[in-house]
Structure formats: structure tokens, C-alpha cells
Structure 1
Amino acid sequence: MSSSLFLPKMIKIGEGALLEVGEVAQHFQATHVFIVIGSLLKNGPIRDQLDECIRKQGLKATYFSNFSGEPTTEHLQDALLSIDECKADCIVAIGGGSVIDLAKAVSMFAFHQHVSLDDITQLKKITRLPLIAVPTTAGTGSEATKITVITDVESKVKKNPGHPDLVPDAAILDARLTVSLPKHLTAYTGLDALAHAMEAYVSRLATPLSDFYALHAMSLIGESLESAYHNGEDLKAREKMLLASCYAGIAFSNASTNLAHATARPLGARFDIPHGLSVALTLPFVIEFGLESGKERYANAAKALGINKEGTDEQLAKALLQMVKEYNAIFHIWADGYKYFEGENIEAVLPTLIKDALSGNGIATNQKIPKAHDIEGIYREMFLEIQKHN
């Protein structure tokens, strides 16, 4: 069976690459760019730099920042009304994965107004506006993926449809944009990138092409995540993490995530937990669940991350599990998770979490297919570990 790989047409990386946004937009024959930008970035030096480089290229610009948190169907409708008014012909997304996900949906629904999120995977071809993605976090890899994550405000379910035509046309990776990212967000997004790469590598849909990017992403993360966390001004570490995030995005976009993301999404939707944190909370227990069936792949992942240990595949796989647990301890993941569950009736919501996890993407691609009781076990172990650290 043949393998295929979908990724952006253009990837630029380097300090100051943000200033090339105008030139890239012109490459896609833009005259008026619709800039979807995080609310914290809409006023400040990034906005000033954008204004300057867009003005130099003689382009018009309309900014949209009327949203916060992870994107919802309401945010999408607001953005579509705004782009319809300004008649922009290119979209630039500057921010974290939530911003880029929203921009993807806007680029498509500007042309397909009567299509639902659930219909996306059934479309043979998607016509959309050119899309340039500029990540300000190193984690989601959304700048290189075919997936958009939008929460339906009515059902409170995170929809994550994918289609090859949703991959952004260009990704611009500028490490300077991640330097001001707080330590806890550096950790959340970095562990999300790790989960993307690891899950893509152990996925049933993994190919030699996706493996290449997954293993390189893990290697870069092993070299740079702790440095980026402890010293946010380390531009080399920041750039490595940006590249790792992009590589991991390419890997999972083509091979799929699996159980860690399937169990994390309901947590984010029900408790408003940042995506990277929710994935970090579930990942150790998902690895533990699939350790025996995927030990050879987990052993290779351990080597890619730089675990210098001799032993059998099982021993290396267990060393990987221990490393992920140590990351969660170093980055205060358990304590941060506790804040979102404190005072919640976990027993009451557990059946819904299990149902939502089983109904989402990532179950069938897991090496070991989980049943409802397996999902319950993962959640119970996670809640128990969180309680231990508080």
C-alpha cells in the first residue's frame, strides 16, 4: 500500500520571519488580508510590525480579535460576518492553535456557508481563501495540519474534522513570537507537541513518511523543551520547539492522534481546561494502557527523545513512561490540573466523559482498541494521581 503526506506549500523559519507576511500574502495574489489575531496580541509590537510589513506591500488589512479561549461556533459566525463585510481575499492567523483553528474554519466557510462542521470530512474538495499561519506557541502544530477544532456551543462537544485542503498554504515560524510565552504555557504546548509526535508514531495509520517527522519532532523536543521552559529567552531552544511542533503537526495530521487526545478532548470541553494541559494529564495513563501492544514503537520513541538506556523494548518503553511522568512533575501538570477539578462531582460527569471519548476521533487508530471500562480506568487513574499531588 502506498503512503502519502500533506503539508504546507511553504514553510519559513527564522528570527524576524514575521516581517515576511506581506510578501507571502502577495505570493498568493492577496490584496486585502483578514488577520485573525489573539486578543492579547492585537495591541503591541506584533501589531505594529504587521502593520508596517503589510503597508510596505501595499495591502489592505482588517483585524479580527473578537474572541478568547478555544474557538466556538459563535466565534466562527462573528468572524464570517466580519470577513463578509470587508471582502478580504487572504487570511493570516497569528496566535496559538485556537487562533489558527478558527482561521482555518473561516477560510473554508467563507466559500461553503451551508456546510456543517460534520460535513467537512465528506467533501471531495474544499475551496477556500489562501491561509498563512504564524504560530506564537510551540505545541499544537495547527500551522501544518488538516484539522480544525471548534466547540459546538449547543452540544458542548469539540468537533475536530479534518480534510487535506484545510492544511494552511504557508507556515511562518518566528521564535521571537514565543519568547514571551509564560512557563506554564510553554509546558502545556510543548507536551501537546510531544503527544502529537508520540501518538502519530504509535498510530495504526503511521507510515514511513509520518514516522520521519514524528521521530525528528521527538528528538528536537528531547533536546529543547526543558531549556525553553527554564529559560524562555533561549531562542535556539524556542526555535527547535517551533520546528518540533510543526513536524509533530505534519506527523499527526497524516497519521492521526489516538487515545490521549480522545480522552483529553472531553476534559477540555467540560471543564474548560487548556488543550495542552488536558493532553498532558491523560498521556501517561494512555501510554501505560498501550505499553505491551506498542512496546517496540514506544522503545523507538524513547531513543528519539534521548533516553540513553540499554535494555529490552519493554524496559525502554517503561523508561519512556517514566520520562513522561517526570515531565508532568517538573512542569507542575498535576497541580495545575487540580485547579480545574476542585469541587467538581467527578462521579456524576464520568459517564459523559467516557461516552464523549469513545465517540470522538482517535479510538480506532490506537494500537490497543479501548472499551468503555478502559476509558473509565484511564480517567480514574488520572484523577487519583491529581489528588495525590494536592
Structure 2
Amino acid sequence: MSESFFFHSPVKVFVEKDPYEVLSDFLSDSCRIGVVSGKVAILKTGFKEFLLKRFPDKEFFFYDDISENPRINEVIKGGRFLRDSKVEKVIAFGGGSALDAGKACSIFATNNRPFYELMADNNYEKPIPLLAVPTTCGTGSEMNHYSIITDLEKMDKVNFKKPDLFPKYAMLWSEYLKSLDETLLLWTVYDAFSHAMEGYLSKRSNPFSDILAIEAMRLILTNLKSYSNSKKLNLSKLLFASSLSGAVILHTGTTILHALGYYLTNVHGIQHGLANALLIPRYLMMCEGKGVEKIDVIRNIEKELHFSIVDSIKDVLGDRLIKLLSGVDTEKMVDYASNKPNSLSTPFVVTKDYILRHFS
């Protein structure tokens, strides 16, 4: 934990507040509204129909060409669409991919420039104000200024971030999670736990982020225990925990676990949350093997609940916990992850041999 630290979270968050009230406030001074999403959730949840029916005085421009892992060309194209549509506000609706893409589109709308040029430059026009509406309980993107974008040519995920990319508003409405496939929902829960756990153990953690991380882990584990016993989940609490985790990694970043997961997604097409679930048991063993003291706090939470994150992962994945990693070139995976900025926040010195030992 850092001895000297700061804590900053500028997002105005509305938890389970009537969406009409939240949107009315956000859109009050605007007429032309851009909406960035994927193609499915916005229809399954009824959100598109809701906007068109409840706000007949607004003109909406929908951009739904966002992939599960948003690509550079998609956010450049989305930025152009918002710019040409002359929108005054942006709503990003969906899972982490849609929220990350929405943030990126909002800044490319005001900056007609190549991706990496804008990424490297601190002089730019401010993005269009954005409201983030998560439809999964794993992203936390609504709480931070990160935009994880896939570079297909380099087979890499890059973190496009700017101080001005924070959403103005975040709307947590758990009803939108009910249309999510149960399996995908669980993957996103593991992603949220990974954010909280990695953030708590990170070299960059601070007392504020630790408080949020502990509460997020406790909420998630309580719900996963309930799911293990009765197949029931409290979506509202999981969505809240996900946002807490998003605020955690805003300050701590993630660690080599996430970098390893990026490789599994980029090269093997394993869904991001599932990739993290595969890695969590091994990462905990790595931390214990290096004597990371804060791991004891996580173990104490598990003892209090008589349930562990590894119990949950084994219960849900079964033999897939081993099979899904059987065809992975672990040396290439570790080489890739070791060179990602995430690895610098890992609470022990990262060496290739030590990481590989946990995949043998």
C-alpha cells in the first residue's frame, strides 16, 4: 500500500434510481443524443424502445457496431458517426465493451485524428459528455477513465485513457441484467472479483481503495455462495460490487493476472471474465508463494463466509478449469503478459520462471 496517496472519483452515480429521472436530468439541456452499444442488449432490455417512447422531444442516433472486444476501427468509425450526427450528449449502454467503446467514441467525435496519435497526445478537444449504463456486473468501466481497445494487427489490447474520459453520470439499474445469459453473468462476476482482488493486492493500493475492494469481495463471495447453494443471485448487490471494483482499479490498476487474461482472449478467444476465472486460483497461489501479506485478509473473508472464490470457480467450471488451458502456449502467454504495464503493479517481482511454474 502507498504511504502517500490520493483518491479521486468524479463520476456521479445513481444506484437503482428511476432511469427516466436520471436520463431526464442528464439530457435536459440537449436535443441530439448519440447512443453507443452492441446489437443485442439494447433490444433485449427494451432500452432503445424506452428512449424513443419516453423522450419523444429528443433525437437519438444509434451506433451499435461494437464487438465483444471493441476494435480500433470501430471506435474511430463511431467517433465519426457521432461527429457527423452533431450529437450533444452520449449514452454508452451495455457491458464493458460497449462502455469502453462509448468513452473512446466520445473523444474521437471531437478529435478527428489517428488512434495512436491521439492516445499519445495530451493536447486534445474534450470528449462529448457521456452517461454510462452497465448491463453486466463485471466491468466497472462506468467508474473510471479506461477504454480497453483491441488492436487486431498487433493482437493486443491497449488501454486508451485520458483524464477527461470519465463518464459524467453512471446509472446502475439492475433490471437491465435480467436479460443476460446466466453463464455470461457469472463470467462477469468473476471479472468484478478479479478487479477487487487485484486492486487490493496491487502495489498501488491505498486505504480508500482497500475499503472498497474488501466490501466488493465480500459482496461478491456472499452472492456466489448463495448461487452455489440455491442458484440465486442478488443482481443489485452484484452490480454495486462491480462499480466498487471499477473505482478500485481506477486507482490501483490491474496486475499480471489481467495481462495473462488478455492473451487468452486475444489468441484463444476466451471470454474476458472466463479467462480471469481460469487464472484467479493460480494467481492466489503465486501471491501466497511470495508471502504477500494482504492475501490473509482475503482468506479471512472466505473463512467468515465458509466459502472461497476457488470453491466457486471449481463448482462452475469443473474440469474445464484445466481443459481450457490445455492448448495454450504458456511461454508465449507469460512473455506477452510480462511486458504489459499491468505487470508492474503485481505485488511481487514478476519473473518468467515463477509464473510458468504455476502452469506446469
Q: TM-score, normalised by structure 1?
A: 0.83
Aligned residue number for residue 271 of structure 1: 268
**2:316 matched residue in structure 1:** 331
Provide the rounded CA distance (Å) in 2 between the counterparts of 1:308 and 1:173: 28
* CA distance in 2 between partners of 1:354 and 1:6 (Å): 32
Letter in 2 for 1:48: E
Match of residue 88 from structure 2: 89
Contact kept in structure 2, 1:96 and 1:135, CA below 8 Å: yes
Q: Contact conserved, 1:184 with 1:331, CA < 8 A, in 2?
A: no
Quick one: which amino acid aligns to residue 39 of structure 1? Answer: K
Map 1:63-78 onto structure 2 (within 5 A). 63-78=62-77
Q: Residues 93, 226 of structure 1: CA spacing in aligned structure 2 closer, same or farther, 3 A cutoff?
A: farther
Indicate how the Cα distance of structure 1 residues 375 and 119 shifts in structure 2: closer, same or farther if over 3 A, else same.
Answer: farther
Question: Deviation at 1:122?
Answer: 5.8
Q: Which residue identity lines up with residue 195 of structure 2 in the other structure?
A: H
**Match of residue 299 from structure 1:** 296
1:36 partner amino acid: V
Please give the residue correspondences for 1:42-53 in structure 2 after superposition, counting only pairs within 5 Å: 42-44=42-44, 45-53=46-54
Once superposed, what is the RMSD of the aligned Cα atoms? 2.6
Taking structure 1 as reference, are residues 302 and 216 closer, same or farther at Cα in structure 2, changes over 3 Å only? same
The whole-number CA distance in structure 1 between the counterparts of 2:230 and 2:52 is: 30
1:364 aligns with 2:344: yes
What percent of counterpart residues are identical? Answer: 24
1:207 aligns with 2:244: no
Q: 1:336 to 1:297 in 2, by over 3 A?
A: closer
Q: One-letter code of the match for 1:3? A: F
1:128-157 CA distance string (max 9 Å, x none):
111110000001111112211100121111
Equivalences for 1:312-327 in 2 at 5 Å? 323-327=308-312
- What is the CA-CA distance between 1:46 and the residue it aligns to? 2.3
Worse-superposed segment, 100-109 or 355-364: 355-364
AA partner of residue 257 (structure 2): A
Once residues 117 and 198 of structure 2 are traced to their aligned partners in structure 1, the CA distance between those partners, rounded to angstroms, is 24
- 1:161 aligned onto 2:160: yes
In 1, the alpha carbon distance for the partners of 2:291 and 2:43 equals 47
Write the letter of the residue equivalent to 2:9: L
Residue 328 of structure 1 aligns to which amino acid in structure 2? Answer: I
Question: SS in structure 2 opposite 1:70?
Answer: coil
SS at match of 2:73: helix
Contact 1:92–1:103 (8 Å) recurs in 2: yes
- Residues 202-211 or 283-292, more deviating: 283-292
Q: Which residue of structure 2 lines up, in the alignment, with residue 40 of structure 1?
A: 40
Distance in structure 2 (CA, Å) of the matches to 1:22 and 1:144 = 18
Q: 1:71 to 1:228 in 2, by over 3 A?
A: farther
Change (3 A) 1:115 1:68: closer
1:106 partner SS: helix
Map of 2:240 onto structure 1: 243
Structure 1: state its 5+ residue gaps. Answer: 310-318, 382-390
State the AA in 2 paired with 1:177: Y
1:375 to 351, 355, 358: 355
Paired amino acid for 1:332: L
Which digits, 9 at most, give the CA deviation of each residue in 1:75-125, with x for residues without a partner?
Answer: 112212321221112110111000001001111122233253475366277
Match of 1:160, SS state, is: strand
Is the 1:126–1:165 contact (alpha carbons within 8 Å) kept by the matching residues of 2? no
Q: Does 1:220 align with 2:219?
A: yes
Matched, 1:252 2:249: yes
Distance 1:178 1:376 in 2: 37
1:289 aligns with 2:286: yes
Contact 1:96 1:137 in 2 (8 A): yes
Cα distance, 1:337–1:24 mapped onto 2, change above 3 Å: farther
Residues 330-384 of structure 1 deviation map (CA, whole Å, 9 limit, x = unaligned):
2226527846x67x5x3xx444322221121221111112112233334x24xxx
Which residue is equivalent to 2:135? 136
Q: Which residue of 2 aligns with 1:108?
A: 107
Task: Give, in angstroms, the shift of residue 285 of structure 1.
Answer: 0.8
Q: State the distance in 1 between where 2:353 and 2:55 align.
A: 54
AA aligned opposite 1:257: T
Q: Say which SS state the counterpart of residue 364 (structure 1) adopts.
A: helix
Deviates more, 1:285-294 or 1:88-97: 285-294
Q: CA deviation at 1:217?
A: 0.9
SS at match of 1:34: strand
Gap runs ≥5 in structure 2:
none
Name the aligned partner's letter for residue 85 of structure 1. D
The answer to whether the 8 A contact 2:286-2:355 is kept is: no
How many equivalent residue pairs? 357
What is the CA-CA distance between 1:255 and the residue it aligns to?
1.0
